[in-house]
Structure 1
C-alpha cells in the first residue's frame, strides 16, 4: 500500500513554525523558474525540469512528503499537462498546418490583409479579435499557437509577432474555452464558505466588471508594440473602437446573456466594429513595417525552412512561401494585395467555421451532459497517489478526469479530419503533417508537462498552502494582493483554470477572515491571473516554437514582462477600489 501523506494545517509552517520562513522555501522553485528564464535565458524546457527538481526536493526534505508520493504527484501533473492541455494545442496547430499544406493559409492571410494593409490594424484584427474567438472556443494556448504564425506570415518580425500574440491573449482568458476558468472557480469556491453568491453566473458577472478594463487598454498596447508612439497616435481610433466594443460586449454578455458565450459575443462584436470603422476611416499614414533584415524576407528570416513552427510556407501542394515581397505571393504591383477567388476564400475560412460548429454542438447542454458521462469521460484516482487534506479527506486533485471524447483536443482532431476533406489534403499528407507537429513542438511538450508537474507537487505537498497563508497575513491589504496571487498561479501553470483551482478557495476563505467580499476576491484571482498568461513558460515555449525560435523564450519573456506587470498594477488598483465605497457598487 502506498504511504499516505497527510497535508495537515501544520504543513503550512514546517520551518521553525514560521509561515514567513516556510514561504521562502515554498517559493524556491518559482524563483528558480523565473531566474532561469528571465536572467540566465535558459531554455524553457530545461528551466521547467530544474524547477520541478527543486520543488520535489523541498516537498521531501522540508514538507516531509514521502518520495514515492512526491514522484506520483509529479507524474499526475505531467499527465494533466499532456491531456488535456497539450492535446488541444497539438491538434490546433495540426489544423493550422493543414491550411499551410493546402496553400489556403496564404489565402486567409491575404483576405485579412485586404481588410487593412496597415500592420498595426492587422495586429488588432488577428491577435485581438480572431485570437479572442479562438480563446473562446478552445483556450489552453490555442490563440497564441495560431495567431503568432498568422502574424509572421503577414510580415511581423518573429519576436514582435510572439509579443503581440501573447499580450493580446489577456482580456479573453477568464472566459476562455466557454468560460471553463469561471466554471472551475464556481466549483471550488461554492463549498469553501457559506455565501450563496459564489456561483458561476455571479462570479462571471463580477469578472465581467473587471476584465473589460483590460480590453480597452490591450489594443492600444498592441499598436504601441508594433509601432511605438507613432502607432498609437495614428491608429488610436481603431484600437479604441476594438477595445471599447469588446469590453462593453464582454460586460453585457457576462452579466445579462450567458457566461460561457461571453468571449464569442465580444470577439464577433469587436471584429464587426473594426471592419465597419475601416469602411469610413483609415489611418493618416500606413508605414511599411514588414520584417526585413539584411535582404531577407520574413519567411527566410523567421522560418528558413526548418519547420520549427510547422510554417515552412511551402506544403505538399507546392504553395508559395508566405513572404512579404514581390514574388512571395503576397504583394503585387504597387502595394496591391492579390485577390483570390471567392470559393478559395470561403475554403480558407472553412477550418475555423468547422471548429466553431463542432464546439458549439459539443457544448449544447444535452450533448455536454451526455459526453460528461461514461464511457466518454472516465474519472479515476491516480494510481498509488494518496494525499489527505486538512479535513482528512483525499484531495480532489488526486482524481484524474480523462474525457477522451469531449476533450477539446479530440474535437480538434474531428475538425482536422473535416478540414483535410474540405481543403482536399490527401490522407497521407494529413498524417505526415500531424507527425511533424509533434516534432516541432517537442520542446514545448516537455516544458508544459514539467511545469504542470511542478504545479501539482506545489499543491499536493502543501507549498501552495504555505504561500497562500503568507499572503493572508496581509489582512485588509490582501485585497490589493489577491490579483497578484492569481497572476502567480497562471504564470506557473499557464492556465487560469488551474490557478482558480489552486487559489480560488484560499481567496474566499481569506476574504471571510479579513472582512472582505468573497465574490470580489474570487473574481480578482481570475482577472489578475489572465495577466500572468503572457509570461507563463508554456505560452512562452509555444510562442517561441511557433516563430522558429525555440530556446529564446527568455528574449520573449523580457519583451512582455513589463506589460504584464503594468497591467497587473492596473487590475490591483481596480480591485482595491471595488473594495471601497468608491466602486463597491460594482460588486454583485
Structure 2
C-alpha cells in the first residue's frame, strides 16, 4: 500500500498550517498553562497528531501507527540509551564518594556558582556537544551541577540554555554535514556562514546565563570572567568554523574557553562568592587537601568519558565499530511506502548501531571507571537498575515525543507549516530561522531539522534572489535556540537534574529565552541577507556525482588499539596513585 503525503488538505495553506500546528500549541498549553507532567503532555500530543494525520491529512491508520512506532523506537535508541548511560556514569561517581572530591576541587578553582556554571554548563557542555550531542551534554552537565549543590531547576535550565551556542557544530559537525547533503551547498560554505552568525550569540550567552542566575548587578561583578569565557569561545568558534570546517569548532571552543577561564581565575577572583539564596553559605573555615593522584582518580570517569567521546567521533573508528556491531533493517510496511509530494519515496530504516552509539561509549566509560573509583560490578548492576527506575518517566516522554515527531513529519503536517513561512516572499530570510527552530522543537535534533528543511530553505531563497547559503545556515542557527524547549531535551534535562514530573516548570523556565534568542537570530539573518551581503562566503555547489569518502576501517582498528592502550595507561596510573594513599 503506497500513500502520497498531503501538504495542503484544505486547499488553503494557511488553514492547513493552522490545523497542523494544533499538537504543538497543545504542548505549549499543557506545559505552560496546565503544568502537566511531561510524559502525560507528550502522550496526549502524540494522540492529537495521530488523529489529525488520519482524519484530516488522510494518512492510513496502519502507516500512522507504524510511523509513530518507528519514532518511539528511535527515542529508545539512541536517545534514551544516552540519557540512561550518562546518568548511570554520574550515579556511580556519586555512590563511590568521588564526586565529593570533585566538589571540593571545584571549590579550589571557584566556589562561586556563577563561575561554576560557566565552566561546566557552558564550556564543558559545549565540548561534550562537539563530541557526542543528542542529549548527552545536557544530561551530564545538569547532573554535575545538581551534584555540586545547584538548585535543580536552575541547573537543568541553564544547561539547556547554555546548550544553544554549540548545537550547530554538535556531534563532530553532523548538523552541517546533513544540511550540505540535502541543499547541495558545500559544508565549508555553510560552516563559514554559521560561523559568522553564531559567535555573536556565543559571546552573549555566558552573560545571559549569569544574569538569569544572579541578576544584572551580580553579573557585573563577574563581568571580566564572563568576557573571558564568551570571548574565548566566540573567537575560537569563528576561527575554527571559517578556516577548519564544521567538525572541530565545539571541541576547540569548549576546551579553549575552559583553559582561558581557569588561567584567568588564577589571577582574578570576584569580590564576593555568590550562591543561591536557599543554600547554605560555604564554610570558609573548612579546608580539604587532596593530592594530584586523588583528584585524578575522582575525575577519572569524566576523563575516560572525554577520551571515549573523542574516539567515538573519529570516522574510521565509527566505521570499524559499525562493521563489527550494527543491525540495520527496514521498517516492515513503512519503508518506501510513503511518498513525498514530489513523488520521492521516504525511506524508513532503523540503524541499531549498538557499538558506535554515543550511549555505548558512555557505558564503556562507566564500566572502565567502576574499578578505578571503587565500585564493584555487582554494586554497579544495582546502580544501573536504580538508574532505569529513576528515569522511567523520561523514557516514556522521549519515546512518545519522537513518535509524535515522526508522524507529524510523515503525514506532511510539518511541510504545511514550512510552506506558510516559505510564502512570505522578501521577508523569508527573517523567518528562515523559525523553520530551523520549528524543526528542532518537533524532532529534538538540529540534524533532523536540517534534513527536513534544508532543501526547502535553499529553493525558497533562490526563488526570491537571496543567496541560499544564508537561509540554509539560518536553518542551522535557528535550530540551536529551539533545542532548549524541545520536549525531548526537556525530558533529558529533567531526568538528569532530578526534576521528573516537573517538566512544565522547566519548560516555562526556558521558553521565553528561546523566543528572545530566536528573534535575535532572525534579525541577524535578515541583516546579513540584505544589508551585509559582503559577509556571505564564496562557495561552489556540490556536483551531482559527489560522494562522501568511506572511512578506512583498518585505520579504525589501529585507532581502537591505541585507545585501548591509552585507557590501560590511565587505569594503571590511577591504581598506582591510589595504592600510595591507602
TM-score, length of structure 1 as denominator length: 0.88
Cα deviation for residue 205 of structure 1 reads: 2.1
Secondary structure (helix, strand or coil) at the match of 1:557 reads helix
1:436 and 2:386 are equivalent in the alignment: yes
CA distance in 1, matches of 2:463, 2:349: 29
Cα deviation for residue 273 of structure 1 reads: 0.9
Residue aligning to 1:384: 333
Q: How many pairs does the alignment contain?
A: 536
Residue aligning to 2:193: 206
Q: Unaligned 5+ residue runs, structure 2?
A: 539-582
Residue aligning to 1:70: 64
1:234 and 2:234 are equivalent in the alignment: no
1:32-431 correspondence to structure 2 within 5 Å: 32-190=26-184, 198-289=185-276, 291-292=278-279, 332-334=283-285, 336-373=286-323, 376-385=325-334, 386-396=337-347, 398-431=348-381
Secondary structure (helix, strand or coil) at the match of 1:401 reads strand
CA distance in 1, matches of 2:119, 2:273: 16
Cα deviation for residue 544 of structure 1 reads: 2.3
Q: 1:131 to 1:378 in 2, by over 3 A?
A: same
Cα deviation for residue 169 of structure 1 reads: 1.1
> Which residue, 5, 8, 13 being the options, matches 1:13?
8
CA distance in 1, matches of 2:301, 2:172: 19
Cα deviation, 1:236-259, whole Å, max 9, x if unaligned, reads: 111111011101111111221242
CA distance in 1, matches of 2:327, 2:84: 22
Residue aligning to 1:564: 514
Residue aligning to 2:543: none
Cα deviation for residue 290 of structure 1 reads: 5.8
1:488 and 2:472 are equivalent in the alignment: no
CA distance in 1, matches of 2:471, 2:171: 22
Cα deviation for residue 529 of structure 1 reads: 0.8
Q: 1:96 to 1:21 in 2, by over 3 A?
A: same
1:470-481 correspondence to structure 2 within 5 Å: 470-481=420-431
Residue aligning to 1:308: none
Secondary structure (helix, strand or coil) at the match of 1:579 reads helix
CA distance in 1, matches of 2:287, 2:127: 25
CA distance in 2, matches of 1:586, 1:352: 39
Q: Unaligned 5+ residue runs, structure 1?
A: 191-197, 293-323, 326-330
Residue aligning to 1:542: 492
Cα deviation, 1:398-449, whole Å, max 9, x if unaligned, reads: 1222222111111222111111132231001111111111111111111111
**8 Å contact kept, 2:339–2:346:** yes
Residue aligning to 2:548: none
**8 Å contact kept, 2:171–2:313:** no
Cα deviation for residue 371 of structure 1 reads: 3.2
CA distance in 2, matches of 1:71, 1:165: 34
TM-score, length of structure 2 as denominator length: 0.89
Secondary structure (helix, strand or coil) at the match of 1:12 reads coil
**8 Å contact kept, 2:14–2:420:** yes
RMSD: 1.7
